[in-house]
Amino acid sequence: MKKITIAIDGFSSTGKSTLAKQLAKELGYIYVDTGAMYRAVAYFALQNGIISSTSFDKAKLIDHLPEISLKFIYNPALEFAEIYLNGNNIEKEIRTIEVSSYVSKIAEISQVRAKLVQQQQVMGKDKGIVMDGRDIGSVVFPNAELKIFMTASAEVRAKRRFDELIAKGELVTYEEVLKNVQERDYIDTHRADSPLLKVPEAIEIDNSKLSKEEQFSLVLSLVEKAT
């Protein structure tokens, strides 16, 4: 079977990464979570006082971009690659509600996107990759052989995210998570550079209507057709 590029885009908490990881494992492909890269830049901005609830120094972030080095290193125990910022594993730190509430503002900046997109294109140059995000089928890999666009209602997604955060011990309310999901949806679909959209050739999957097994076998049949 020839190796292909699989682009999975969609709103936050639609189960993109679960599906992408499952697919990569089944096919022996590399999996890249591009949301983790935007989250890492947001984490850097928070750590360095570049963004806060009262200010956002975009020029400073752009000046500091060359200092940001991101790497994925495979963790065999977890069976996926974790993200490192300048040599430090920040996989846990980037999943907080705090990072979630700033990340879409960071992702609006064209210079941030250009840096991350370039790195993503290098990671996928040999194909055999499943990448999930918001602009993978539209910008990063417009020639991907298979493009999937995942949706689910904001309430279903917020509930899923809320359960995950509570399981990790974060003190959040469902309303707070729902508000964050809706705000990110709005910013992600309305930004000028690379807004989240479904390209015409992408196959839409409504994740609230299918079980994980149904979804996986549907996507595997799409992979077979594309290879």
- Kindly list the residues in this chain that would bind ligand C5P in the complex (CB under 6 A): 12, 34-35, 38-39, 103-104, 107, 133-135, 184, 188
Determine the longest span between alpha carbons in the chain, in angstroms: 53
Rg of the Cα atoms in the chain? 17
Q: CB of 198: closest distance to ligand C5P in angstroms?
A: 14
| Packed helices 174-190 and 154-167: angle between N→C axes, nearest 10 degrees | 120
**Nearer Cβ to ligand C5P, position 2 or 195?**
195
**Nearer Cβ to ligand C5P, position 136 or 219?**
136
**Nearer Cβ to ligand C5P, position 12 or 215?**
12
Q: CB of 224: closest distance to ligand C5P in angstroms?
A: 26
**Nearer Cβ to ligand C5P, position 150 or 223?**
150
Structure tokens at 119: 């790195």
Q: Annotation-wise, does 18 bind a ligand?
A: yes
Q: CB of 1: closest distance to ligand C5P in angstroms?
A: 27
Rounded CA separation 36/39 (Å): 5
Q: Annotation-wise, does 12 bind a ligand?
A: yes
Q: Residue 199 to residues 25, 102, 127, 195, 226: CA-CA distances in angstroms?
A: 26, 26, 20, 11, 17
Q: Annotation-wise, does 69 bind a ligand?
A: no
Q: Annotation-wise, does 17 bind a ligand?
A: yes
Q: CB of 67: closest distance to ligand C5P in angstroms?
A: 20
Nearest to 87 by CA among 73, 101, 103: 73
Structure tokens at 226: 């594309």
User: Which residue ranges are tagged as binding site for ATP?
Assistant: 10-18
